[in-house]
Amino acid sequence: MSRYRAHLFLCTNERPADHPRGSCRARGAEPLLEIIKEEARKAGVPEPFRANRSGCLDACESGPVLAVYPDGVFYTVRNREEVARIVSEHLVGGKVVSDLAIPDPPRRGA
């Protein structure tokens, strides 16, 4: 059982500017954490709710990446409007925002 009804992890990992995969921080992740918290409060996301920074979530090319648990859904999130959609449609409404969801990657070595 999860400690939180919703626990969000926003990748804020940073890599060198010339790294081939890039990084979520370089794509603007850092200010999104406060936006997530603001939008969750405005929308009345049910408690207990938590949003944290995280290290690499291994979906760098799709970043900034937001993981929503316990559902295990990963999203590309770039701005307040996308955050607001994820909050209202997924966290409040219970439906995956399919156009922002990152498909499951192929397993490495498979």
Beta carbons within 8 Å of 79's beta carbon, 6+ residues apart: none
pLDDT of residue 1: 60
pLDDT of residue 110: 41
**Rounded average pLDDT per 10-residue block, the chain, 110 residues:** 88 93 93 97 92 94 95 97 98 97 67
| Residue ranges per structural domain of the chain | 6-92
Domain at 6-92, CATH homologous superfamily = Glutaredoxin (3.40.30.10)
How far is it, in rounded angstroms, from Cα 79 to Cα 77?
A: 6
pLDDT of residue 3: 84
Q: For the whole model, what pTM was predicted?
A: 0.90
